[in-house]
Each structure stands twice: as C-alpha cells, then as structure tokens.
Amino acid sequence: MKTILYATDYSQNSVTALHYAEALAKKSNAQMVMLHVFDMPLTLASTVSISYITKEKRLYTEHKNKLMDFCLAQMKSETNREQLLWEVHEESSVVDGIREKAVELGADLIVVGTKGERILKEMLFGTTAEGLIKKTPCPVLAVPENSSLESLKTMVYATDFEEADIYAIRKFVQIAGLFDAQLNVVHITSQKEKNGQDQMDWFKEILQQKVVYSKLEFHLLYSENILEALIRYLIDSDAGLLAMLERKDSGFFQRYFQSDLVKKMERNTPVPLLSYNVSGL
C-alpha cells in the first residue's frame, strides 16, 4: 500500500480507526492522508461574492486546523509526521466527499470509524461505511471504537467460493503479512448443501496455486443461521479482523445477513470489517 486515507468526523468512535490507520501506514511505510468532509452552511453558499470567498477560505482554514489538532492529539508519538497529508473537502454528502478524495489521491485503503459494537448491523442499514463500500473501488476498513490492535494476530476472510474472492484474498494476505497474522478462510453453509466440502477443497486448491502464505487455514462450518455462526466463529477464534467481498448486486451481506437475522441478534462483536469491492480487484 502506498496511500491510506483516514476520514474522521471528530467523534470519539473515529479515534480507534485513526490508530488502525496509523499502524497500517507505519508497517507498510505508506503515506497517510487525514481527511474531514464538511458541508458549507447555506448562509455562506447562497451568494457568490468577495465576502463569500473570504468566508470560504476562513472556513477551510478552520477545518484544517481542527483536523490537525484532533489527529495529532490522538496519534502515537512515534508517527512520522512527514508522511502525513492534511485534506479538508466541502461536500454535502460525506460518502461522495470521501470517495472523490480517494479517487483523486489514488488511495489504496480507506479507514473509517463505526459506532459501538453493532458493526454488521450498521453495514446493512445505512452508514457512511456502507455507502463507501458500495461506491468506492478501493477497500474500506470500518473500525468499531472499542476494537483492539492487539487482536490482529488472527484475521478471517469469509468466502462464498467466488473467483473474485481469490483476488481479494491475494490483497488481504498483504495486510495479514504486515502483522504476521494467522489468516483463516471460512465458509458457512447449511446442512442442506451436500457439496460444501467439495467446493471447499476445490477453492483451497485453486487459491493455493495463486496465493503463498504460510499461516493460511481453511474452515468449513455448517449452520442454518449464517450470521450467528459467523459471529460465534469470530469470538471463538479471537479474530481481530474480518474481510469480505462486496459485489454490486449480490454478496455475502445481501445473501445471508437479512434484516430478520440481524434483528434476532442480541449481541455483536467489535471486530473491524475490511470490505473489498469487486470493481476494484
């Protein structure tokens, strides 16, 4: 990775995401772009004049100073400040603003925070993270506020045995390698699907031809409740990061994480989610 884009709204739940972006940038020697997207007040945007231009410049300066103060106050002292780039962007849509900057800067990864522990539910019911996953070609890492960098010793990729999964895992291996992490490829299927093991064996054989990583394991789980089984697996394996492939019209979320399943879940796990968009592979 050469460029990591971290977007913040100055909230407390974006602080942990900052630490993840910082750790990734340090280990990969990537440039770290700090971004805040703001919306111009209607009172300023209503009239184009010298006064408006002056106020606009002042607003940009204020936001940039606030961004720098917020990030520098939260970052680790050993961070190389020369690798930091500060960006503020005016856009009524936060998702569009982040996406535009990601494309403009050629970002390899976007890192954002999510609220609390209900990350999987947020991904379904509409958040900045969900919008980015659907609209941005580069991977998006959504980090719950109480995630721990110490748990990155084990990472999980949830596969549906798609060809695009192979390309996503090839990229995911690069991140796992930065932390020397165990990478578990897991597929969850129902007992009714009798060829689950055959599919796993085929996928494993193909993947091992294209991906070289010494700490790679494959796990096939059977359950009628896909979401519940996945969360239980993340807890049991002490996973620190979950990765998935997001497709345009279908995918793991759309096929298995229907709203009725999510509503039945009484608890969730604060595991960061790394989503790969099929259009960016």
Contact 14, 144 (CB under 8 A): no
Alpha helices in the chain (DSSP H): 15-28, 42-45, 50-74, 94-105, 119-125, 128-135, 163-178, 196-210, 226-236, 252-256, 259-264
CA dihedral 110, 84, 167, 161 (to 10 degrees): -40
Contact 273, 244 (CB under 8 A): yes
What residue segments make up the domains of the chain, in order of their start? Answer: 1-146, 148-281
**Euclidean distance between CA atoms 202 and 187, whole angstroms:** 13
Contact 150, 185 (CB under 8 A): no
- pLDDT given at position 49: 54
Does position 120 have pLDDT exceeding 50, yes or no? no
- pLDDT given at position 168: 95
**Euclidean distance between CA atoms 22 and 162, whole angstroms:** 32
**Euclidean distance between CA atoms 7 and 10, whole angstroms:** 9
Residues in the chain: 281
211-238 burial, b at 16+ Cβ within 10 Å, e below that, comes to bebeebebebeeeeebbebbbebbeebe
Report pLDDT digits (tens) over 143-200.
Answer: 988 888 999 999 999 998 989 999 999 999 999 999 999 999 999 988 767 788 899 9
Does position 55 have pLDDT exceeding 50, yes or no? yes
**Euclidean distance between CA atoms 158 and 180, whole angstroms:** 19
> Tell me, which fold does domain 1-146 have in CATH?
Rossmann fold (3.40.50)
Residues with Cβ within 8 Å of residue 79, at least 6 apart in sequence: 22, 26
Asked whether the domain spanning 148-281 has the same topology as the one spanning 1-146, the reply is yes
CA distances from 3 to 17, 22, 99, 159 (A): 16, 12, 14, 26
Residue with tokens 């231009």: 53
pTM across the whole model: 0.86
- pLDDT given at position 231: 86
Best CATH choice for the domain 148-281 from the list 3.30.70.920, 3.30.365.10, 3.40.1280.10, 3.40.50.620? 3.40.50.620
Reading the block at residue 135, the tokens are 């609209």
